[in-house]
Amino acid sequence: MTATLVTLALIFAELSLLAFGGGNTILPEMQRQVVDIHHWMTAQEFSALFALAQAAPGPNMMVVPLVGWHVAGFSGVLVTSLAKFGPSSLVTGFALRLWERFKDRPWRRTVQAGLVPVTAGLVTASAVVITHASTSSWGTILIAAGVAIATTTTRIHPLLALAAGAVLGLTGIGQP
């Protein structure tokens, strides 16, 4: 148990410091760690947990305590939350002090512009990995495609799109 908690702490502390461009960029690595390397759950279960976290209120990294819960109960929640939010918060604290000083330096703009396509690539990779694990039948493929098109082309509320997906899923149409 302790070994599991230490492993969880190490994984999420690393993810915490690598999450440039927000939480969605680290989903594939999180999935690789908890599914492929440590076999704590299947890819489908990971997708289900991610979906649950998306349906909950608050910031979009709530899959973190959920993975902790699934693997090790309450202590898992504590360990993953601390490991995921602690290191990046420390970095934020230190950076806040330096921010004023480097605000107008040109290299800061270059670094920022350079990170944009990296973030875009990682979020696209997340979409590929999560979609691959979540769409195993024609019914779920249609739901994913419909939600992607609707939320890209209209201003539909994300929660409404999730609810529509859940209701369509409930009918069982196109699912084994």
Partner 1 sequence: MDAAPATLTTKHEAPDIGELFTGFFILGLTGFGGVLPLARHMMVEKRGWLTGAEFTDLLGLCQFLPGGNIINMSVAVGLKFRGIPGALASILGLIAVPTAVVICLGVIYGRFADDPVVRHLFGGLAAAAAGLLISTAIKIAWPLRRDVTGLFIVALGVLAIAIFRLPLLPTLLTLAPLSIVLRARQAS
Q: Around Cβ 172, how many Cβ atoms within 10 Å?
A: 9
Under 8 Å between Cβ of 19 and 7? no
Q: Which is nearer to partner 1, 4 or 21 (CB)?
A: 21
How far apart, in Å, are the Cα atoms of 51 and each of 7, 46, 95, 108, 110? 24, 9, 32, 35, 35
Interface pick for partner 1 out of 4, 38, 75, 141 (rule CB under 8 A): 141
Does the CA dihedral 61-88-98-93 come out positive or negative?
A: positive
Least distance from partner 1 to the Cβ atom of residue 1, Å: 18
The one-letter amino acid at 67 = V
Interface pick for partner 1 out of 5, 8, 19, 71 (rule CB under 8 A): 19
Q: Around Cβ 4, how many Cβ atoms within 10 Å?
A: 15
List the x/- string, 45-64, binding to partner 1 by CB under 8 A.
--xxxxxxxxxxxxxxxxx-
122 binds partner 1 (CB under 8 A): yes
116 binds partner 1 (CB under 8 A): yes
Identify the residue whose tokens are 């898992």. Answer: 76
- Tokens found for residue 16: 């915490």
146 binds partner 1 (CB under 8 A): yes
120 binds partner 1 (CB under 8 A): yes
Least distance from partner 1 to the Cβ atom of residue 40, Å: 13
Least distance from partner 1 to the Cβ atom of residue 3, Å: 21
- Tokens found for residue 136: 């195993």
79 binds partner 1 (CB under 8 A): no
113 binds partner 1 (CB under 8 A): yes
Least distance from partner 1 to the Cβ atom of residue 33, Å: 9
